Amino acid sequence: MTDRRLRGPVRIVGAGLLGASIGLALRERGVDVILSDISPATLTLAIDYGAGRAAAVGDAPELIVVCVPPDVVATTVALELDAYPDALVTDVASIKLAPLLQLRALGADLSRYIGSHPMAGRERGGAISARADLFIGRPWVIAGHDDITYRRAAAVEDLALDLGSVPLEMDAAEHDASVAMVSHVPQVLSSLLAARLHHASDATVGLAGQGLRDMTRIAASDPELWVQILAANAQPVGAVLEALRDDLDRVIRSLSDPAVPGARRALAESLADGNIGVARIPGKHGQAKHFSQIVIKVDDRPGELAKLLTEIGEVGVNMEDLRLEHSPRAQIGLAEISVLPEEEQRLVEELEARGWQIAGAFS
């Protein structure tokens, strides 16, 4: 594929999930990708998966993308700036202010550095989990600063666009405060909730449904990496957690005696505030529109889900999203299909006519 903005070569330092995914996506567009990693085994695996090639004498990268843990971002970026004096260097760490300040303290050439952060990832790491489509439709924050010109930094925007992302400009402090709210605090809360299951009885855990699975999905993430992220973004994360602590205290007081005047109102207002907040989360591809959900019973046997999806396609309704939930101790599953509200009634009628059982439909 030649439809691309970056000419290349692009050097990627750190061949884990993000680095290998960037490499795979760029290779699909015909960009020459050079991989580097401190671990020979990690590097070989990423090359075997097709994410790029090993470095060679005479390499002159147009862009260098540093994909290493947060505590070594600044030193790695500084080394790359020194080694390749004609290249623009970016990093994809989930914190932006600390590396910028560290590089400034090191006296690095900030006229060729700009931090960035693709809002994409998976619970599992490594090149084995890498995907070329990981960044499609996802925001890619570009954290500009006064030491670099827009024109010099343009290659990072080209990178984001080539990978199918949506570039967004933020300064480093605004970025760190934003990801504290939408990424770092959710990780802490997910982990804390999952930790409550550690000593729960088998009977209790056996009752777990999709709600608990949704809330604890990211609790499977790498603790060592998250200690680095949280420590580097401690103040913004702490501020959000303190506000949440106040909210929890208010709920706990209400639950201590629900009969006290005002207790039920406080609970209702807390839950209603959650309705308002969740309605602000962008939908598919970052759109502001929201969808109707249709819940369909699917027998737990080979081919049933494929049949359902095929028949939705035959009806001519676009499926905006899909979520599956298995019914405990029953040979059925529940497929929650998201569609445009104006398509809901037609799809329900068509599926019922084809023999599917509709467990519920809601907007």
Looking at residue 289, its pLDDT comes to: 58
What's the DSSP call for residue 197? T
Looking at residue 278, its pLDDT comes to: 85
Looking at residue 44, its pLDDT comes to: 96
CATH of domain 285-362: 3.30.70.980
CATH of domain 10-170: 3.40.50.720
Q: Domain 177-278 is of which CATH architecture?
A: Orthogonal Bundle (1.10)
Segments of the chain assigned to CATH 3.30.70.980: 285-362
DSSP string, 255-301: HH-TTSTTHHHHHHHHHHHHHHHHTTS--GGG-S---EEEEEEEESS
In sequence order, the β-bridge partners of residue 109 are none
Reported as type and span, the H/E element at residue 332 is strand 332-339
- Residue 115, token pair as written in the block: 């931090």
Average pLDDT, the chain: 91
Segments of the chain assigned to CATH 1.10.3660.10: 177-278
Reported as type and span, the H/E element at residue 306 is helix 304-315
Give all strands (DSSP E) within 14-77, no chain letters.
33-36, 53-54, 63-66
Q: How far apart are CA 208 and CA 168, in angstroms?
A: 38
- Residue 162, token pair as written in the block: 């080539």
Looking at residue 324, its pLDDT comes to: 81
Looking at residue 283, its pLDDT comes to: 62
Query: Using one digit for the tens of pLDDT, what is the confidence trace for 65-98?
Result: 999 999 999 999 999 999 999 999 999 999 999 9
Residues in the chain predicted with pLDDT less than 70, given as ranges, are 1-2, 123, 283-289, 326-330, 363
Segments of the chain assigned to CATH 3.40.50.720: 10-170
How far is residue 209 CA from its own chain's centroid? 23
